Amino acid sequence: MAASFYTPFIRTICITLAIFWAPYNAIAAVLDANATYIVTLRGVNIAIVGVSFKDNGQNYSVNISGDVSGLASLIAAGTARLSSSGNSSAGQLQSNRFELETIANKQSFNVRFEAQDGNVTSEQVAPPLSQNKNRVPIVASHRRAINDPIAAFLLKADRLEPEICNRSLNIYTGVERYDIELKFAKEQTAKSKATGYQGPVMLCTMRYKPISGHFSNSDTTTYMQSNQRFLIWYAPLKQSGYLIPYRILVGTAFGDISMVLTRLND
């Protein structure tokens, strides 16, 4: 049950919901920020996502929660909780601990790992994933020089500019290892009064490259590898020296999944 639930739900959480906070200046004071996002599928509200972020200039913590809402709750129910914590004093945030819990149909699935200097030191998956010959094995080298799917997107840079997009992220979730290639697309302006921000945004394209832990015969994996509608728009978090995603869009066989910032408190 847990293994089958992983593919449609956790994949969306780890690749989409986890992309939240991107700092681009040294932190001058303690930061405590909260945001709310609405997730839609083909324009229909399906989930609410809450994010809290704290950073004291030496250590950070991020907590993310997602709950099915609106009409989607009539046909499905589920929650996801993610957390990441680690070191924020260097040029790139580095996760020391990552946790994920999902609950659906009264079934829970939990992933946890700890790391030091980007190398995994311990991990737990409960219940364990079932053995499947089509699952690409995760070897020891895939657990080195990684970041978790939250901290990987906490990008430090000098300002909102095209260069923030041009990078490769080496991500480990505890059950899957993949890369995300970011590339600059264009500079735009967010104008909608219905969202939590209006102003300049930076659009980046994303490409998903599976390494291990995925199923070689998975239609989802194949689709995501060639997905041309995998996009993220970054916006400044007021004058804090941070960027946050204003919007994330993932094209799927069922239509576009879009997550948009609707409320921001810092």
Residue 206: its pLDDT value, please? 96
- Average pLDDT over every residue of 163-191: 95
Fill in the amino acid letter for 136. V
Instruction: Quote the pTM value.
Output: 0.84
Convert the pLDDT of each residue in 27-76 to its tens digit.
445 778 899 999 998 888 888 999 998 988 899 999 999 887 654 544 45
Percentages helix, strand, coil for the chain (3-state, rounded to 5) are 15, 55, 35
Number of structural domains found in the chain: 1
Would the pLDDT of 26 be above 50? no
Convert the pLDDT of each residue in 101-151 to its tens digit.
988 777 899 999 999 999 999 999 999 988 899 999 999 999 999 999 998
- CA 114/CA 86 separation, integer angstroms: 10
Residue 50: its pLDDT value, please? 93
The DSSP secondary-structure symbol of 229 reads: -
Residue 70 is part of which domain span?
2-265
Cis peptide before 236 (omega within 30 of 0): no
- CA 107/CA 68 separation, integer angstroms: 15
Residue 110: C-alpha distances to residues 22, 42, 85, 102, 127 (Å): 26, 29, 17, 7, 7
Mean pLDDT of the chain, nearest integer: 84
What confidence category does residue 241 fall into, taking pLDDT thresholds of 50, 70 and 90? low
